[in-house]
Amino acid sequence: MKIRGIIPAMVTPLNENGINEEGTRKLVRHLIAGGVHGLFILGTNGEFHTLSKEEKIQFAKIVVDEVSGRVPVFAGAGDIATNKVIELVNEFAKIGVDAASIITPYLLKYTDEELIHHYRVIAEQTTLPIILYNIPPNTRNFINRHVFSELLKIDSIIGIKDSSGDLENFKGYLELNHREDFSLLMGSDSKILEALQLGADGSVASTANVVTKTDVSIYEQFVAGNIEQARQAQVSIDDFREACKCSTIPSGLKYCLRAIGQDVGLPKLPVLDLTKEEKQQVDQVLQKYVQAEGFTLKVEQ
C-alpha cells in the first residue's frame, strides 16, 4: 500500500454519552467532500489517550462504515504496553481499517532496542499494515536513524508519520528509505510543502479538519507543478495553525469545527474549551477562509 496526499488527523466527535455517531458521520462526509486522500483517526488530535478501548473500536467502526471504501482509513492503536497495542490492532483488522498507526510508547524513556523490539513483536502478531508515528515532544521517545533503518526491514511496516517538527530528521528518513512501498508523511502542518519538495508522499494534517480544501490544494498544486499556488496555500494554513495554538490540543480545532457547523462537542477534560476572548480571536482568522472553503460561520458566545 502506498499512501499519498493530504490525510486529516481527524478529531473525535463527542457528546455527554461518549462517541457522537451522527457527528462522526457528518464530519467524515465533510472531509471527503473537501477532497482528502484518507482519514487518520484516533491520533493525538483524536484524543486517543482519553478514550477507552471500547470507545476506540466503536469510533473506528462508525468511520469505516461511513467511509465505505471511498478513502483509506488509518487508525491509531498506540499504547504504553505492547500487548495492548496488539489487541487493538487485531480488533481494527476485524473492522476493516486499512492500516494501524502506532505511536512510540510514552511516559518512560525507552532504549533503541526496546523500541525496535516493540514494533517487531507487534508486526509478528498482527496482520494489518503498520504506520510508525514519531512525535518525540509528546512521548519522550524518538525514532532515530538506527531505529528507523531496522524497522524498514519489516515488510508490514509501510510508512511513518513524522511529527518531530525537525526537517533534518525527516531528510534522514528519506535518505535511508530504499522501499518503493514505504510512505513518508509529514506530521507538522507548517512544513507540508517543504516536505513534498524533499520527496515526502503526503501529510497527516490537523488543520485539514477545518481548512480542508486549502490543505488539499497544497498537495494537488504541488503535484501539478504549480509551486507558487502551493506556496500560497501553505502560507494560508500557517495563519490558521497559529490561531489554533492559543489552546491545548484539540480545543482550538474543535471550536473551529463547531463554528463551521460540525457537531464535534468539547474536548475531554482536563482540556478546556476556548475562552470568550480566544474564540473571538479565532473567529477573526476563520473569516479569511469563508470563500475558499465554502463554509458559514456560527459564532459562539
Question: Does 301 score more than 70 pLDDT?
Answer: no
Give yes or no: 119 in active site.
no
Four-way CATH pick for 5-242: 3.30.43.10, 3.40.50.300, 3.60.130.10, 3.20.20.70 = 3.20.20.70
User: Looking at 94-103, 127-136, 240-249, 275-284, which range is the least confident one?
Assistant: 240-249
Task: Give residue 243's pLDDT band: very low, low, confident or very high (50, 70, 90).
Answer: confident
Residue 222 pLDDT:
98
Span 248-288, pLDDT tens digits: 999 999 999 999 999 999 999 999 999 999 999 999 999 99
Domain ranges within the chain, ordered by starting residue: 5-242
Mean pLDDT computed over 198-212: 98
If you average pLDDT over every residue of the chain, what do you get?
Answer: 96
Mean pLDDT computed over 124-140: 95
- Name the phi and psi angles at 6, rounded to 5: -100, 125
Which listed residue (56, 161, 191, 254) is catalytic?
161
Mean pLDDT computed over 151-164: 97
- Global pTM? 0.95
Give yes or no: 161 in active site.
yes
Which listed residue (110, 119, 133, 219) is catalytic?
133
Q: Is 271 annotated as a binding residue?
A: no
Residue 59 pLDDT:
99
**What percent of the chain lies above the pLDDT cut of 90?**
91
Question: Does 114 score more than 70 pLDDT?
Answer: yes
